Each structure stands twice: as C-alpha cells, then as structure tokens.
Amino acid sequence: MRYLCFLAADPAAARRLGRAVRALTPSAERGADCYLLDWRGLERLHGPAEAVARRLAVAGVHAGGAGRKATALLAARAAAAFGRPCILLLPGTEAAALAPWPLVLLAQTGDAATAEALAVLAGWGIRCWGELAALPAAELHARLGPAGLRLRALARGEGGAEALAARPPAVGRAVLRRELEPPLADGEALERLLARLLAQLARWLDRRDRLTDRLDLRLGCEHAPARCYRARFSPPLRQARAMAAQLQLALRRQPPPAAVTGLRLRARLTPPRPIQPSLFAAQESTAPAPEATAKFLSRLAARLDRRQDPALGTPRLVDSHQPGAFQLAPFQYPETPGLPPRRPPQSAVAEPPAVPRPAADQTPPPPALRAHRPPLPARVRLNPAGEPVAVATGSGPWHVIARRSGPWRSSGGWWAAADPAAALGTVPAAAPGPALASDSAAPPRRPPARETTFTADPRRIWDWEHWDVQVGTRRLRLRQDRRGGGWVCDGTYD
Amino acid sequence: MAALPTTKPQLERLLSARGWGATLLSAELAPKLAPTLTPTLTPTLANGSAPPARPHRGLTLLYPAGAGGGVTSAALRAAAQALAAPAAVAAWVDGTDALDPESAARAGLCLDRLLWLPAAGAPLAELLALTQMLLAAARFHAVVLDVLSRPVAELERWPRAAWFRLLRGLERHRRSQLWVLAPAALPAPSAVTKVAV
C-alpha cells in the first residue's frame, strides 16, 4: 500500500492527528481536513502501513489506504461516511472493492461541474461506482465532458492526485506571534522587529503563492490597553518592504502608549491576481508597482488622518433602493492603466483643443447634488395639503419655498426588523395643521459624521419622504423621516 | 566679431540659433488657449463669443458666477470627460465631503476609476498637500480639489505660493489637469485659468 490518508472529524481530532502525523514524517501533505502520507520508505521505520492506519484511526480519525493518492483520500472519506475507522484497499483489488460504493460519495471530490455530472448520472439510474466504471469512456465524454471522465477514473480507482485538497485555501489567515521579554520601549527597535517578521511572512506567502490584502497588528502594552493597527493593500501584495512601510506609518502616527510586551500579526490571505501583460505596451504605460500603489495610498490616508476605515477609496453604488446608498471600496488601478498623455510644451501648441458642444436637441443633464454630511437639521412648515411651504435649516431664518416637487417616498429594511409592521407603523404626519403654519417636530439631533459617511447598511430601516424645493435661487433636497417625523436637508443642487 | 546681444529678444534669438531654445523660460510660458470644459460652461464663458485666449497650464479655477450654481455639475462633467480615455483614473479631493456618488454616476463618471478622498475635517493646508501629492504621482488624468463649501474667510488665507506649487507640480509631468472648485474668484496668479460658471 503506497498512500495513507487520515481524515479528522473535528478540530480536537485534527490537532491530535497533526501531532501524530508529524511524529511519523515531516513530509506529510496537508489538506483542508486531511493528511496524506507517502508510505514508501517509512515501512522499515514505522512498520506496515495497515498497522499504522489502524493505530491512528481512533476517536474521530478515519483512515484510508490505496495505491493512488485520490483513491486513498476517497477511501478515507468512505470510511467516515460508513462509520468505519479505516478502509484499506490492497493493490489489485481496488476496482472490485469500490464497485458497491454509492455514487454520492463522489460528490465530495469535485466542483460544480462534478455535481452537475453526478446529477445527470443519477438521472440515468447510475447508483454505484461499479455501474459508473462500466460506462464507455468515449460515450461518457461526449455527454458529460471531462467531469464525466474524471468521475469514471475515480470510480475505477484510477484517480489522479489532483483530487487532493493539498493546496492552501483560497482565503485564510496567517498569524505570527511574539512575546517580548524584556518589553520593548524603543520605537525604532520595534520597527526593525516588525520588518523581520514581515520578511518572514513574505517568504511564507511566497512559498504558498498567496498575497495579503490586510494586516492587523496588535501590540500588547505594559500597564496599558493593547493597541491595534490595520493596513490595507490594494491590490494585494507580498512585498515585505511595502507592508513594513504602511505599518511604520501607522505606528508613527499613533505610537504605542507604553513598552510593548508582545505582538500579534495577522494577515488575511488572498489568491494571486492573474494578469496578462501586454507584449506591445510601452514601458511607461504599465501598471504602477503594487507596493508603490499601496504605499502611495497609505501616505494619502495618513495625511487624511481619519479614524474611519477605509479613509479613502472608490465610491460604489450598492444594489439598494435606499436613496444615496453607497459604499467606499478600496481604490484599485485598472489592470491595464494608461498614463495620462503628456501635454506638449506650451509653445508647440498652435490650436486650442476641440470644444465639445451639446447637440441642439440634447436635454441638459440634471444638476448634481452636493450632499450635506451629516444632513442639516431642518424645520419645515406645511400647508393643509401636507406640502412644505417654508423651510429653515439649522437655527437660520425661515425661507419661503417658491417651487416644490415631490414627495418621493421610499422605505426598506423593515423586513429585517423583529416586528416589520411596527417598523413602518409609526408614520407621523405630514399631518396638516389647522393653520397654514404647522411646524414640524423639534429639529432632530445632528447625527455624528461617521454614521452618514457610509450609508449602505442593509440592516437599516428607513421610511423616507423626499422633496426638492427651490428657495430663492437655491434648490434643496429635503427629507422627512416618516418613522421619527424629523426633517433634514440632504443636500443642495449645484 | 559679431555684436553681443543687447536686448532680451536678441539674446533669445541667439540662444535659439545655437540650440539652447528649450532652456528659455518664455518657451514654457507661451500663450495657449484654455480648453472649454463642458457644455454648461459655454453660455457663461463669454456670452456667446469665443472663450478668451489666455495661457493655460492645466490649472482651472471654477467659481459660481451668480447664485444659480452649477460648479459641481461642471466639474463632474470635466472629470467624466477626462475618464473617457481608456483606463484613465481621476482623483477627487473633497474638502467638504459633498460628493454624491449617484450624481457623479449620472454625470457619466466611471466611479470604478475615481479615487475619492473625503477630507471635510482637514485644514486647507492638508488639502493642498494632498493635491500636490496626487499631482506628483502623475498617474491621474484629472484631479479635482473641492473647497466650494468652505468659508470664504478661510480660502482668503490661501497662500499665494500654494498656487505656484500646484502649477509647478502640473508642469513637472504635464500629464494631469487640476480643477479647483471655490466659492468665489480667489486671488490667484494669471497662470491660473479662472472660469465663472
């Protein structure tokens, strides 16, 4: 028996299994939930593979053994499915042993195409591996493509090594920890230590062909609360110097309050970006180096000195009916950026650039809104029809509304409330008062700026009524919260 | 022996004849017509006449001509025009957090290629430093500095040297256009193109 595969049913068993496997050999392949051992050469050291498999397959660990990697993995999964400690397939008997196994066991070995192929096979009445193995390869390929052939090979015990989940997961984390004794009080020494750790992390990422898009640094401080720092990289990278530069910026902006007793560095992993560079692009039209981009954006964010995260980025409209909803996403240069064309020297320009003019029948585009963040509290007087006739923003004077347009009502998020009926049931009034002047409720408290910078919260319940009004020469966008009754000015059209 | 040049034009002609014309300052400052930005500017630029000819060095100050407004719309369209080039990128230094992404998208701005820096709390000097960093990067086709809703009293303290630093940043790479949105016609050097919207 050439390969042994061990499968752990729970985290405790996985830890125990990891220790046992490392004691056997340092070269075991590790999958998401399994270990695969090439037993060639280990027999003299640890005895026959069957004995080792039976010894380790206890308390949440299942073992499989076969002459091929994929078959050993499938045997381990079958052992887990059948509730048996181990299934060992001797060479030459694999096909006969696999034949009665149910087809559903193969569902754990593939992707969406495999699942689709299995559904088709089930529709054909194929129930076990033996029936699948007996199907003609050419006919199967004609109908199910490569996925069908792959399943057939697995059912015949001929599966390749690609079935193993030996690769690192697409996303995950890497954590580095250091305890410092004595505590480190020197900022420069801390930066040097960080640079060494990041170099170590970069080598680790390089070996596993992974990048990181976020680093979280937690510094334990002596007689003071721990201090956390975060650096984001867009696009993801694994260059130690670029990572160190960003963390150094953050450390210099907010130095730890006391000597550092320990640190934890956590990196969020991402798969590498596939980029197809152009053969014919000029040198200056290639993308800026990722580390340069990340450092540049980090320097900009450090200048902004905002506590929110992210401090800058690309505004993205979200798929919501909530007016004004957007998210701030990390900025990324286009994959094939082009530098701006270089303007010729001033003296070389003979004619001005062309002047774009609108077509005669072209309707003018609507004016842009200049948002007030946070919205300005407003007081509004309503007429008997419930329409605003005068408005005052903040503590300013009243202004008569010359023209109005609205209302536009929108609501949402109520489905996330514990009681959806109550979430929308407190509609106060655009209730007309007895006289022309019916002031709205007291001006709402001005919300903190942080709440309104990013307005895309899917859990937020809103029930709004918008009005566009003209006050003198200014055009305002007013909003009434129909749940609370307050009025605010969302912005000015400019 | 030829006579030595006694006037500036004679000296410039001599230097040009000997291949040193590129070192002349006047070559950099030769007049160039300012490009008209967007259709919305056309009526207010020259009341139907052609836009005035003036040196254009990539820096345009947009300010409201009357109470009607339209400065933000004009800047959005200018940025959209700059982003019309394939893979172009733009930056928006927002001194008042006033950019509305919906309006920007409606104006034709490709949001995916816009770097937005909301900086309402930042002092004016920081905004200028950010703008200089963006210009020095020379990666952005258009950079917009929006201080339209800032108090005029604060903007009156805008250091004159800052204009020259911005112009120098534009001249170094000659790749970016800078639009400054201000509530009034700020005192600025003549090299800054002022456009009332």
- Provide, as residue numbers in chain A, all residues whose Cβ is less than 8 Å from the Cβ of B181: none
- Grouping H, G, I as helix, E, B as strand and the rest as coil, residue A86 is strand
A-B contacts (CB, under 8 Å): 186
Tell me, rounded to whole angstroms, the distance of Cα A438 from its chain centroid.
49
- Torsion sign over Cα A134, A140, A141, A146: negative
Give the residue-averaged pLDDT of B163-186: 84
Query: Which residue in A313, A346, A491 is closest to B30 by CB distance?
Result: A346
Predicted confidence band of residue B93 (pLDDT cuts 50, 70, 90): very high
Q: How far is A482 from chain B (nearest CA, A)?
A: 23
- Provide, as residue numbers in chain A, all residues whose Cβ is less than 8 Å from the Cβ of B33: 349, 351-352
List average pLDDT for each run of 10 residues in chain A, which is 494 residues long. Answer: 82 83 79 79 81 82 82 82 83 79 74 77 86 84 80 76 47 84 86 90 85 89 88 81 85 87 89 58 48 76 65 83 83 66 50 43 75 88 88 86 87 74 48 35 41 49 88 88 85 88
- Distance (Å, whole) CA B191 – CA A349: 16
The 10s digit of each residue's pLDDT in B11-51 is 888 887 887 766 665 544 443 444 444 444 444 444 444 44
**Which residues are CB-neighbours of A480 under 8 A, at least 6 positions away?**
A380, A407, A430, A440, A464, A465, A467, A486, A487
Of B38, B129, B140, whose CA–CA distance to B91 is shortest? Answer: B140
Query: Which residue in A296, A338, A368 is closest to B86 by CB distance?
Result: A338
B101 touches chain A (CB under 8 A): yes
Sheet holding B177-181, edge to edge: B114-118, B90-94, B142-146, B177-181, B59-63, B193-196
- Grouping H, G, I as helix, E, B as strand and the rest as coil, residue A377 is strand
B86 touches chain A (CB under 8 A): yes
Query: Which residue in A303, A341, A475 is closest to B130 by CB distance?
Result: A303
Closest residue of B to A355, CA-based?
B36
Q: Where does residue A12 rank: exposed (0-12), middle (13-18), buried (19+ CB within 10 A)?
A: exposed
Is B115 in Cβ contact with A312 (below 8 Å)?
yes
- Distance (Å, whole) CA B88 – CA B81: 10
**Which residues are CB-neighbours of A317 under 8 A, at least 6 positions away?**
A325, A326, B101, B102, B105, B111
Of residues B134 and A58, the one with the higher pLDDT is B134
Query: Which residue in B28, B106, B120 is closest to A365 by CB distance?
Result: B106
Is B113 in Cβ contact with A313 (below 8 Å)?
no
Structure tokens at A94: 């694999």
SS (HEC) of chain B: CCCCCCCHHHHHHHHHHCCCHHHCHHHHCCCCCCCCCCHHHHHHHHCCCCCCCCCCCCEEEEECCCCCCCHHHHHHHHHHHHCCCCCCCEEEEECCCCCCHHHHHHCCCCHHHEEEEECCCCCHHHHHHHHHHHHHHCCCCEEEEECCCCCHHHHCCCCHHHHHHHHHHHHHHCCCEEEEECCCCCCCCCCCEEEEC
Is A474 in Cβ contact with B69 (below 8 Å)?
yes
Say if residues B150 and B116 touch (Cβ distance below 8 Å): no
Q: Where does residue A86 rank: exposed (0-12), middle (13-18), buried (19+ CB within 10 A)?
A: buried
Closest residue of A to B28, CA-based?
A346
Predicted confidence at residue B192, as pLDDT, reads 81
| B144 pLDDT higher than 90 | yes
- Provide, as residue numbers in chain B, all residues whose Cβ is less than 8 Å from the Cβ of A345: 27-28, 174
SS (HEC) of B13-56: HHHHHCCCHHHCHHHHCCCCCCCCCCHHHHHHHHCCCCCCCCCC
Angle at A38 between CA A35 and CA A41, to 5 degrees: 140
B196 touches chain A (CB under 8 A): no
**Which residues are CB-neighbours of A458 under 8 A, at least 6 positions away?**
A320, A413, A416
Closest residue of A to B112, CA-based?
A314
Say if residues A475 and A492 touch (Cβ distance below 8 Å): yes
- Grouping H, G, I as helix, E, B as strand and the rest as coil, residue A226 is strand
Predicted confidence at residue B167, as pLDDT, reads 87
Is A366 in Cβ contact with B66 (below 8 Å)?
no
Which 8-state DSSP code applies to residue A128?
A: B
- Provide, as residue numbers in chain B, all residues whose Cβ is less than 8 Å from the Cβ of A357: 39, 42
Say if residues A115 and A107 touch (Cβ distance below 8 Å): yes
- Provide, as residue numbers in chain B, all residues whose Cβ is less than 8 Å from the Cβ of A352: 32-35, 53
Taking the alpha carbons at both ends of chain B, their separation in whole angstroms is: 58
Angle A49-56/A11-24 helices, nearest 10 degrees?
150
- Distance (Å, whole) CA B61 – CA B37: 11
Query: Which residue in B39, B86, B176 is closest to A358 by CB distance?
Result: B39
pTM: 0.56
Q: What ipTM does the predicted assembly reach?
A: 0.74
Of A154, A155, A171, whose CA–CA distance to A268 is shortest? Answer: A171
Say if residues B115 and B90 touch (Cβ distance below 8 Å): yes
